[in-house]
Amino acid sequence: MKKLSLYIYLMFVAGLSNTFAQAGKPLFTGSIGVQAYTYRNSFPNSVVATLDTIKALGITEMEGPNPKNSIPEEFKKLLNERNITMPSIGIDYNTIVKDPEAAVKLAKVFGSKYIMVAWIPHGKTFTIDDAKKAVDDFNTVGKILKDNGITLCYHNHGYEFGQYGDGTLFDYIAQNTNPQYVSFEMDVLWAFHGGADPAKLLYKYKGRWKLMHLKDIRKGIANDLTGGTDTKNDVALGTGQINIPEVLKAAKAVGIEHYFIEDESPNHAAQIPVTIAYVKSLKE
């Protein structure tokens, strides 16, 4: 009888342990997206095959626009056939400043609600004069986009985290752009590489962040303000230096709407499935 009771007790404990092991809601509940630049070397070989590969990974969103030498309307049709949407497109800074209406037209082809700018032109060092010009341009362009139902997002790139006053040049941009017209896309790798804490930065400007590039950087790579690093330093999420769970918790708290994996590494084909599995495995 005692042996039977002990057996029942042990089974009960084992059951609890199993329950606890499975407890916890998924931390990441968004759609898996990808930045088209990840496949910049694959699209020229075959747009169709590349999109089929992306669909097979379970990816349902893409940040574009269309690859070089492709027609936007035709690329949109291929996306539709695979149930892949394009909520955001990237446009060059000088291009959008010169002709914001053309950017609006392209965004509407894809049904994109966001246009992101990923680089502010500057010399060897990003300066306050560069930041001031960007603020003026972003406020002007952002209003035009808003009038057309589109939100402008500036994508940080690392060089903006140089010291300025009591903060950084990024702080200057965030504090002097009009929140009605200018929002932001968090690139996790470039924020970290520039010396910022991605999670803290998300909380600091809660309400301004709409999009995110999911990236991690190889262990041992030092931070700097160049806004650049070898593409081989892009690694699968969870294998690098960045505290990804902390970043995703912050992203959920501040209302990030779309997440795009951007893996610039030549090993992206092997790394992206690892990234996806890792993100899906995280629990709150």
- Asked, for residue 169, whether it belongs to a domain, the answer is yes
Of the pLDDT bands very low, low, confident and very high (cuts 50, 70, 90), residue 58 is: very high
- Asked, for residue 274, whether it belongs to a domain, the answer is yes
Distance of CA 95 to CAs 57, 62, 98, 107, 144, Å?
32, 21, 5, 14, 14
The reported pLDDT for the residue numbered 16 is: 30
Q: Tell me: the pLDDT tens digits for 204-248? A: 999 999 999 999 999 999 999 999 999 999 999 999 999 999 999
Q: What is the DSSP letter of 283?
A: B
Of the pLDDT bands very low, low, confident and very high (cuts 50, 70, 90), residue 189 is: very high
- What is the C-alpha end-to-end distance of the chain, expressed in Å? 42
Contact between 139 and 181 under an 8 Å Cβ cutoff? The reply is: yes
- Asked, for residue 39, whether it belongs to a domain, the answer is yes
Of the pLDDT bands very low, low, confident and very high (cuts 50, 70, 90), residue 15 is: very low
How are beta strands 258-261 and 234-235 bridged, if at all?
unpaired
Domain with residue 181: its CATH number is 3.20.20.150
Of the pLDDT bands very low, low, confident and very high (cuts 50, 70, 90), residue 23 is: low
Contact between 187 and 155 under an 8 Å Cβ cutoff? The reply is: yes
Distance of CA 96 to CAs 67, 272, 276, Å?
18, 31, 32
- Asked, for residue 5, whether it belongs to a domain, the answer is no
Cβ-based neighbour number of residue 38 at 10 Å: 25
The whole-number average pLDDT for the span 51-77 is 98
The whole-number average pLDDT for the span 97-105 is 98
Q: Does the pLDDT of residue 5 top 60, yes or no?
A: no
SS3 62: strand
**Whole-angstrom Cα distance, residue 88 to residue 258?**
9
Query: How would you class 205 by CB atoms within 10 Å of its CB: exposed for 0-12, middle for 13-18, buried for 19 or more?
Result: middle
The whole-number average pLDDT for the span 196-207 is 98
Q: What is the mean pLDDT of the chain?
A: 93
- Asked, for residue 177, whether it belongs to a domain, the answer is yes
Report DSSP letters for 93-117, one per residue.
HHHHHH-HHHHHHHHHHHT-SEEEE
- Asked, for residue 21, whether it belongs to a domain, the answer is no
- Asked, for residue 10, whether it belongs to a domain, the answer is no
Tokens 């709409």: give the residue: 210
Which structure tokens are listed for 82? 């695979």
Q: Tell me: the pLDDT tens digits for 239-265? A: 999 999 999 999 999 999 999 999 999
Whole-structure pTM value: 0.91
Q: Does the pLDDT of residue 129 top 50, yes or no?
A: yes
Q: Does the pLDDT of residue 39 top 50, yes or no?
A: yes
Q: Tell me: the pLDDT tens digits for 130-170? A: 999 999 999 999 999 999 999 999 999 999 999 999 999 99
SS3 24: coil
State the residue range of the domain holding 84.
27-281
The reported pLDDT for the residue numbered 1 is: 40
Contact between 64 and 54 under an 8 Å Cβ cutoff? The reply is: no
The reported pLDDT for the residue numbered 269 is: 98
**Whole-angstrom Cα distance, residue 35 to residue 234?**
14
Q: Does the pLDDT of residue 7 top 70, yes or no?
A: no
- Asked, for residue 2, whether it belongs to a domain, the answer is no
The reported pLDDT for the residue numbered 159 is: 98
Number of domains in the chain: 1
